Structure 1
């Protein structure tokens, strides 16, 4: 159980920003030279890093976002949405002549498919992350390892320095659209990572194996902290500090849109970790955050709070 008296962590999220344009229905697969009607259409804040940041703020963290956007309407929308949801955007830079990234999300109640225009997404570099901000941080997180081209060569050095200063670290890989997976780079970064948070599909592409447990028990290189793997309808698994692996079942809900469920899981595992949760209790808290996010449209349509998490858990006790 998270105690209300616990100190408010300062979480710096350094990541990509884009809008999500979500088309939702039972059947959203386009057909050439045909027109289909769909049930829903929304323009919402997107990006793994941003959704995780908003969920962390909703849970009670002090969240500072570092990113770049285009100096355009979508960039202004991203910044205003972050601010509306309690995330500090002082360090979000708007670049003239650049378009903000856009993701088209074709969403059904069971799954989704994505098409992304990169725009400003890969343009974040260490120059945009001020030392004065890092000195305030309790924790640093980023999402979309494979999309952040400007930061990918620099994460290892940054993580090493932060951890030597007592700042914990985490990252989520996201999907590698180039299908390269950079196992060497990921393996090196894991040695300076407190929370590694991939999905099952991502993990099994980085470290090819038949089962998640095989990777966690025998193939994963040294991890400074823990590895939490999102497994959808099978819940999640956690490799703990002592090398043992545990699992937790998901919370059964009727989903409206699965966009951002994994990112809200990220927020849950980070926030729970910073508040002293561990083991199955930590996994269950993160699973509840992910389940709650599916009850709204878009990644921020139904952000978890500690109250709604505990209510969901009590209803499934």
Structure 2
């Protein structure tokens, strides 16, 4: 079985690979998209194995995604197919500021119909890390229950659970509902990984150390806070019950497309945990993968191999970080 498991909504990504509008574009190359899918791709590129949990439609999008996953070695044994709903897809156009315009076609998608009983057939043999996000859990009540059950099952099998909140407010009935539901999942995880603004939103406090304390007091083992393009920080309890902090600056790169940076970061964290890296080198790797990803227009095509990652870390200039 795979070392890593993730659950999410993989989608086909149709990209206008220029600054054209959809009306002007004459070609739309097909690539893969979805936050958890990006993470899975990043993990495989760094030499580790991944299993994906989801539901796909019996359609060309689902066929394309399965073919891609199998081609790069992602385990698809936990993927269901349905003829009752379509696989989601998205359209993306580049912009000069690095923030692309994206239109989603995912309402009522096959993935959103994933039910909690999918967890009952999962074999956790060999799985060391479960990666989940707040996106899939926000799709429907069923997907939220599925994620919650999967986290519980993973813990029962001794699996480390990593949770990236990755909030999508439009998927929730209210801000308050999103915060409450997200924090219930956060209390179940071993590694919580918000961006700074996300951590402020969900904890109600501002300083990174106070955000970390909020979640460490819940019982979370590690809190990793992404500090935008400046770097990242990791907080955990020391042997005396105090809070130990590690902060590492990111790298200077030319930004092409910011989508996928956080997913690349997550793949760096996951592989660093698998390889037993210390906190400083874990953050260095995660920062590096995120930085490399923003130099590519695709959501995942820029994610590096282990060799490319080592070369980048050895040569790329670093920023300054004060925390």
More helix by share: 2
Q: 1: CA distance between counterparts of 2:232 and 2:100?
A: 19
Counterpart in 2 of 1:72?
A: 59
Counterpart in 2 of 1:313?
A: 313
Q: 1: CA distance between counterparts of 2:26 and 2:230?
A: 28
TM superposition shift of 1:43: 2.4
Counterpart in 2 of 1:4?
A: none
Runs of 4+ deviating beyond 6 Å: none
Please report the TM-score for the alignment, with normalisation by the length of structure 2: 0.83
CA spacing shift, 1:172–1:284, aligned 2, 3 Å = same
The secondary structure found in structure 2 opposite 1:263 is: helix
> Counterparts in 2 of 1:62-141, with a 5 A limit?
62-108=49-95, 110-118=98-106, 119-141=109-131
> Counterparts in 2 of 1:193-208, with a 5 A limit?
193-208=189-204
TM superposition shift of 1:267: 0.8
CA spacing shift, 1:17–1:167, aligned 2, 3 Å = same
CA-based RMSD? 2.7
The secondary structure found in structure 2 opposite 1:240 is: strand
Counterpart in 2 of 1:248?
A: 248
**Pairing 1:191–2:187 present:** yes
Q: 1: CA distance between counterparts of 2:72 and 2:140?
A: 23
Counterpart in 2 of 1:5?
A: none
CA spacing shift, 1:206–1:27, aligned 2, 3 Å = farther
The secondary structure found in structure 1 opposite 2:104 is: strand
Q: 2: CA distance between counterparts of 1:104 and 1:211?
A: 36
Q: 1:225 aligns with which of 221, 237, 251?
A: 221
Q: 2:163 aligns with which of 132, 148, 171?
A: 171
TM superposition shift of 1:128: 2.2
Q: 2: CA distance between counterparts of 1:153 and 1:132?
A: 16
Q: 2: CA distance between counterparts of 1:89 and 1:157?
A: 20
The secondary structure found in structure 1 opposite 2:145 is: coil
Q: How many residues align?
A: 304
The secondary structure found in structure 1 opposite 2:303 is: coil
**Is the contact made by 1:198 and 1:228 (CA closer than 8 Å) also made in structure 2?**
yes
Q: 1:14 aligns with which of 1, 4, 7?
A: 7
**Is the contact made by 2:192 and 2:220 (CA closer than 8 Å) also made in structure 1?**
no
Q: 1:237 aligns with which of 223, 233, 237?
A: 233
TM superposition shift of 1:252: 1.2
TM superposition shift of 1:277: 1.3
Q: 2: CA distance between counterparts of 1:210 and 1:218?
A: 11
> Counterparts in 2 of 1:43-58, with a 5 A limit?
43-58=30-45
**Is the contact made by 2:50 and 2:74 (CA closer than 8 Å) also made in structure 1?**
yes
Please report the TM-score for the alignment, with normalisation by the length of structure 1: 0.84
What are the Cα deviations for residues 21-78 of structure 1, in whole angstroms up to 9, with x where unaligned?
Answer: 33354586x9xxxx6x569843211111111011111111111111111111111111
Is the deviation greater in 144-153 or in 57-66? 144-153
Is the deviation greater in 18-27 or in 294-303? 18-27
**Pairing 1:267–2:260 present:** no
